[in-house]
Amino acid sequence: MDLDGLPETAFVSPRGENRPAVQALLQRGLAQVVERLAGAAGRPPLPQAEASLPDLLPAEPLAEGEILARLDGLLAASMNASAPGWIGHMDPPPATASILGALAAAAVNNNLLSYEMAPALSRLEVAIMARLADLFGLPAGAGGVMASGGSLANLLALAVARNRAFPEAAESGLCGLARRPVILASAAAHTSLAKAAMVLGLGRAAVVAVPGREGRMDPPALAEAVAAARAAGQAPFAVVATAGTTVTGAIDPLAALAEVAEAEGLWLHVDAAYGGALAFSPRHRDRLAGIARADSVTFNPQKWLYVAKTCACCLFRDAALPARHFRVAAPYMAETGGLVNLGELGLQGSRPAEVLKLWLTLQHLGLSGLARLIDAGMALTAEVAAELARRPGLELAAAPDSNLLCFRPVGAGDAAVEALHRRLLDAGLFLSLPLYEGRRWLRLVLLNPHTGAGEIRKMFEVLDEALS
């Protein structure tokens, strides 16, 4: 092709002609990115200024220096997850190896749609999914497929569960069903379940909220809710238990819920998007006791496993189930020795090799490194919870099951909680401000490895001053 007029570095020449120029560009870009991360403690968690967005579609190629300057401007205006005061969301600073994985995935640009387009990486994904399933205690033959986020993983699990329970729905939809399929979950379950119910054609009212305490589903109440749904002419088909709710990090009593699900003949999906990381800690993994009885599990390494976004897994107790109950074959793809293309099993078609970020992170940190990170977050949470309990002027939404703490001044209105949030922000500390059970709370997520005693001390100084 005649490529005159393109920048010298437009592509990496496969014959190596522009190797020095490409390396110079990527090294400059990488140096800039590392500089942002390495200087993150000097900037607040939330940006001070809006990004300027000039010239979105320049008529001619811009000089590399100008492009890098614009990129740096955008990075400067981005949320700063590496700031030690970033302690309010389930979004960690990325593990270094996962940054390399994102770069490598973009560079090889393989497509997880099929084995033909991602031979080694499809095999890697299948193998890692089986290894993670094993870590959760699922039996031999368990495995799964990755997805770009936990919402998609929850949707896929529920689609397979729905199609297994109502095989005719996969072909003809829901219109012929005599009874309305419903899903049971706690009121604190993630909003992606409502989205999944809409996408599956069930309607969001098909997610029945089971009562509980402090965000945890009550097993006898689940049995009652199943009976009530059946009495009302509905057809419960799945229970979604949560291991690490989004607002308080609560873990449902998985073993007891598994008993009920089994007795009632219901699919048990465990949304362990967040709390699944506890499986990596020998000290804390018993908090997930019962997860081994799940039919499917969502787990997001992009959260408490520090893998750069997005990175999520949908695991099945029987890895053959998505092929049986969801697969749509892609005849435009070559067959590879009986292997089923991952793009035929999952919701997504074309998909990047996000598994590279996960694999490199597992290789780089190892089980011991990951356990250390989880344990450190849990230890810090216990210390902060004890400090909070020493202050009668503060109330906790729930005793922590993981590394999340939601609190607020006793008797305060939402406006006062919001004012406290701003004061903390002025002190360089970002806590989030969720609405939970009708009131605003300050929410701490203690997963940031850069958060230390200094940030916690500062937080209590601000709180004590406000409470005095």
Ligand X SMILES: Cc1ncc(COP(=O)(O)O)c(C=O)c1O
Query: Where does this chain bind ligand X (CB under 6 A)?
Result: 90, 149-151, 154, 190, 192, 242, 244-246, 271, 273-274, 300, 312
The interaxial angle of helices 453-467 and 414-426, nearest 10 deg, is: 140
For residue 446, give the nearest of 308, 300, 303 by alpha carbon: 303
End-to-end Cα distance, the chain: 73
Q: Which is nearer to ligand X, 299 or 407 (CB)?
A: 299
Task: Give the single-character DSSP code of 447.
Answer: T
CB of 180 to ligand X, least distance (A): 24
Dihedrals φ, ψ of 435, to 5°?
-95, 120
| 451 Cβ contact partners less than 8 Å away, ≥ 6 residues apart | 84, 85, 86, 87, 380
Q: Which is nearer to ligand X, 313 or 394 (CB)?
A: 313
Q: Which is nearer to ligand X, 257 or 463 (CB)?
A: 257
Q: For 118-205, where are the alpha helices, taking DSSP H only?
A: 119-135, 150-165, 167-172, 192-199
CB of 40 to ligand X, least distance (A): 22
Q: Which is nearer to ligand X, 190 or 223 (CB)?
A: 190
CB of 270 to ligand X, least distance (A): 10
- State which H helix or E strand residue 462 sits in: helix 453-467
CB of 243 to ligand X, least distance (A): 8
CB 222 within 8 A of CB 210: yes
CB of 253 to ligand X, least distance (A): 16
CB 307 within 8 A of CB 105: no
Q: Which is nearer to ligand X, 160 or 340 (CB)?
A: 160
CB of 302 to ligand X, least distance (A): 6
CB of 346 to ligand X, least distance (A): 14
Rounded distance between C-alpha atoms, residue 445 and residue 449, angstroms: 11
CB of 151 to ligand X, least distance (A): 3
Question: In whole angstroms, how far apart are CA 125 and each of 50, 102, 317, 336, 351?
Answer: 38, 15, 16, 16, 12
CB of 432 to ligand X, least distance (A): 11
Q: Which is nearer to ligand X, 245 or 448 (CB)?
A: 245
Residue written as token pair 């005159």: 4
Q: Which amino acid is at 319?
A: A
Rounded distance between C-alpha atoms, residue 411 and residue 419, angstroms: 14
Q: Which is nearer to ligand X, 125 or 271 (CB)?
A: 271
Q: Which is nearer to ligand X, 190 or 325 (CB)?
A: 190
Residue written as token pair 């009874």: 179
CB of 78 to ligand X, least distance (A): 18
Task: Give the single-character DSSP code of 1.
Answer: -
For residue 410, how many C-alpha atoms fall within 13 Å in the half-sphere facing its CB?
Answer: 8
For residue 285, give the nearest of 134, 146, 153 by alpha carbon: 134
Q: Which is nearer to ligand X, 269 or 463 (CB)?
A: 269
Sheet holding 442-445: strands in order across?
394-396, 404-409, 442-445
Q: Which is nearer to ligand X, 266 or 404 (CB)?
A: 404
